[in-house]
Chain A
Amino acid sequence: MKRKYIYFAAIAVVLVAGAIALGIMWEPSIAQVQPPAASSFDSQLKIDGARVVALGDCAVCHTAKGGAPFAGGLPLATPFGTIYATNITPDPDTGIGTWSLEAFTRAVRRGISRDGHQLYPAFPYIHFTRMSDHDIQATYAYLMSRDPVKATAPHNKLIFPLNFRPPVAFWNVMFLRPGERAADASQSAEWNRGRLLVDGLGHCAACHSPLNVIGGEKSAQAFDGGLVDGWDAPPLNQLSNAVAPWTQAQLVTYLRTGRASEHGAAAGPMLPVTLDLATVPEADVQAIATYILSIQKPTSPSAEKTAADATQDAASPNVQRGAIIFNASCASCHGSGSPMQTIGTRPSLAFSTAINAQTPRNAIQMMLGGIPWHGESSINYMPAFADAFNDDQIADLASYLRSTYSKRVQWNGINDTVLKIRKENEAR
């Protein structure tokens, strides 16, 4: 009798749990609509949408290299495999042409596709959920009035069981807090606007925070710095730790031009973000900078070399070999008195964020890949050296740069890091 009772109880628990799980995972499909005509949207709403889309960096992920804007196909490397960004042009077959505003709003606020399937959290809906209804409507109006492009993204290459989408619903239970947040009345309007842009649309924390083992942002360590596409996304809450502590003016200039005269040039995944922010009103970027400067944590100064260590380091064979390479390969732009150092607002390498960073990762990425030409845009250029130098030579250069231009202690394991980064880059 007792055994029978336990047996029924167990079945009941399984059924209830199963029903709850299904309830969590199941999302209804939202009916398709005729693609709305571009002329059906208010023109001011579309103009607002252009600004919102730039602040949200939509095009950065939803445009493949050399592809049509918003047509998707860009591979996003994650620890769980590769996800291809989707087509968000209004093409009815391969894009979002048949999505109603209701379906679009659900996707942005809760990460559910029109047909009810779970979107992967690489789409930062946990941040976009903070957007206002007006901003979501403006984004919809803007995207729906782009030229439809027929383009199907390649299939995602994710590890089992993540290639199966419904369990993402449980991830959402843990990490998604849907909806707008009330303004903080004790703070200025600019600060509140900045918080909305940084935490919501701009989704800065998506890259600039460490991720836990299931790819959720560690909320207690928000803005402590992360790793994205093989680049270190530096901490945003230790900005006074720079050689020249970041100021509001430097932050705004950096975000709007990709260059800061006391820190260096944007590169890697941050470069396209600055290209987007160049197009929005300066007040938005001022608000972003105001908020970011308000979230600073107390920092302890980075460990600096003793005079004896500095002398010993400078005399080491790898630094010496690095010096020879620097003189031939780098000095024509980065040497003191070179034209690049005397025109424009380019800092000495002594101020470089990458060379003063905790790890050599970004300095190595810069040397390997440089900054490619970007059409006719006037942003920075640097040639790539991946084909010119082997791993040891890149490592020698990194040692030389750290030894010569930074007061901070020499990096450890540089050669291994170069090897690792090359492998990662080749796999990408």
Chain B
Amino acid sequence: MIQLTVNGVQHALDIDPSTPLLYALRNDLQLHGAKFGCGLGQCGACTVIVDDRAVFSCLLPVSAIGNRAVRTVEGLGTIDHPGTLQKAFIEHQAAQCGYCIAGMIMRAQALLDRTPHPTEAQLREHMEPNLCRCGTHMRILAAIRQAAGLVDDSTVGSARPDTGASQ
């Protein structure tokens, strides 16, 4: 039996110890936020937080988690009451197709948990592992800046939701 604590809830799962955490989350716990992208640790769509660190859940066997707490995007808020980052992502319309967004939010959450007011350089370096094929990185960064209460001084090329309805 594999013991997992996900978003504060304990689970006992009868699964192979080398099952990647992502499969346990999606197939056994019906938490479909984290996505399967590349399966190689190259895209970040599967990113969740394990013991306050952002990790690729597609490459982490459930047996290696031990008593570390797992957090997924579902743990940050609900549709009616989105969390701070989720709200900022909605306000900035940071999702195009949305496939990468759960991973983006969780990687950003890991940063803000440890560094509530990161510098622009810290923010960009931290977010580097996660890719968005639609290219909404500028909106994603703007959303994280808003959630972190940072002044958005890199407006070049970034689309703000209040600059026109046609964007």
Residues on A lying within 8 angstroms of B by beta carbon are: 66, 321, 324-325, 327-329, 332-333, 340, 372-373, 381-383, 385, 387-390, 393
Q: Categorize the interface residue count of chain B.
A: 20 to 34
A383 contacts which chain B residues (CB < 8 A)? 40-42, 56, 59, 129
A389–B53 Cα gap in the complex (Å)? Answer: 11
Q: Does B63 contact A (CB under 8 A)?
A: yes
A328–B55 Cα gap in the complex (Å)? Answer: 13
A387–B126 Cα gap in the complex (Å)? Answer: 13
Are A328 and B39 touching (Cβ within 8 A)? no
Contact with A along B21-43 (1 / 0, CB 8 A): 00000000000000000011110
CB of A373 to closest CB in B, whole Å: 7
Contact with A along B54-74 (1 / 0, CB 8 A): 111001110110100000000
**Nearest A-chain residue to B68, judged by Cβ:** A390
Are A388 and B42 touching (Cβ within 8 A)? no
Q: Does B18 contact A (CB under 8 A)?
A: yes
Are A325 and B40 touching (Cβ within 8 A)? no
A325–B63 Cα gap in the complex (Å)? Answer: 8
Are A324 and B18 touching (Cβ within 8 A)? yes
CB of A414 to closest CB in B, whole Å: 17
A105–B42 Cα gap in the complex (Å)? Answer: 46
Are B54 and A387 touching (Cβ within 8 A)? yes
Q: Does B104 contact A (CB under 8 A)?
A: no
Q: Considering residues A328, A340, A382, A393, which has the most beta carbons from chain B within 10 angstroms of its beta carbon? A: A328
CB of B94 to closest CB in A, whole Å: 21
Are A325 and B64 touching (Cβ within 8 A)? yes
A–B pairs, 9, beta carbons within 8 Å: A66-B121, A328-B19, A328-B20, A332-B59, A382-B41, A383-B42, A383-B56, A388-B50, A393-B64
B18 contacts which chain A residues (CB < 8 A)? 324-325, 327-328
Are B121 and A381 touching (Cβ within 8 A)? no
**Nearest B-chain residue to A323, judged by Cβ:** B18
A321 contacts which chain B residues (CB < 8 A)? 63
Q: Does B17 contact A (CB under 8 A)?
A: yes
Looking at the complex, which one of B39, B40, B53, B63 makes contact with A324 (CB distance below 8 Å)? B63
A333–B42 Cα gap in the complex (Å)? Answer: 11
A333 contacts which chain B residues (CB < 8 A)? 40
The 6 A-B pairs with the shortest beta carbon distances in the complex, nearest first, are A383-B41, A328-B61, A387-B53, A327-B18, A324-B18, A328-B18
Are B61 and A325 touching (Cβ within 8 A)? yes
Q: Does B80 contact A (CB under 8 A)?
A: no
A139–B59 Cα gap in the complex (Å)? Answer: 46
**Nearest B-chain residue to A388, judged by Cβ:** B55
CB of A325 to closest CB in B, whole Å: 6
Looking at the complex, which one of B17, B40, B53 makes contact with A388 (CB distance below 8 Å)? B53
A321–B121 Cα gap in the complex (Å)? Answer: 38
A382–B56 Cα gap in the complex (Å)? Answer: 12
Are B64 and A388 touching (Cβ within 8 A)? yes
B53 contacts which chain A residues (CB < 8 A)? 387-388
Residues on B lying within 8 angstroms of A by beta carbon are: 17-20, 39-42, 50, 53-56, 59-61, 63-64, 66, 121, 125, 128-129
CB of B18 to closest CB in A, whole Å: 4
Are B60 and A329 touching (Cβ within 8 A)? yes
A332 contacts which chain B residues (CB < 8 A)? 39-40, 59
A366–B20 Cα gap in the complex (Å)? Answer: 21
A327–B61 Cα gap in the complex (Å)? Answer: 8
CB of A382 to closest CB in B, whole Å: 8
A372 contacts which chain B residues (CB < 8 A)? 128
A388 contacts which chain B residues (CB < 8 A)? 50, 53, 55-56, 59-60, 64
B41 contacts which chain A residues (CB < 8 A)? 382-383
CB of A210 to closest CB in B, whole Å: 34
Are A389 and B64 touching (Cβ within 8 A)? yes
**Nearest A-chain residue to B128, judged by Cβ:** A373
A325 contacts which chain B residues (CB < 8 A)? 18, 61, 63-64
**Nearest A-chain residue to B20, judged by Cβ:** A328
A390–B65 Cα gap in the complex (Å)? Answer: 9
A383–B44 Cα gap in the complex (Å)? Answer: 10
Are B60 and A328 touching (Cβ within 8 A)? yes
A295–B32 Cα gap in the complex (Å)? Answer: 58
CB of B103 to closest CB in A, whole Å: 13
Contact A329-B121, Cβ < 8 Å, known A324-B17, A387-B54, A389-B64: no
Are B56 and A324 touching (Cβ within 8 A)? no
A385–B18 Cα gap in the complex (Å)? Answer: 16
CB of B4 to closest CB in A, whole Å: 14
A390 contacts which chain B residues (CB < 8 A)? 66
B61 contacts which chain A residues (CB < 8 A)? 324-325, 327-329
**Nearest A-chain residue to B52, judged by Cβ:** A387
A393–B59 Cα gap in the complex (Å)? Answer: 14
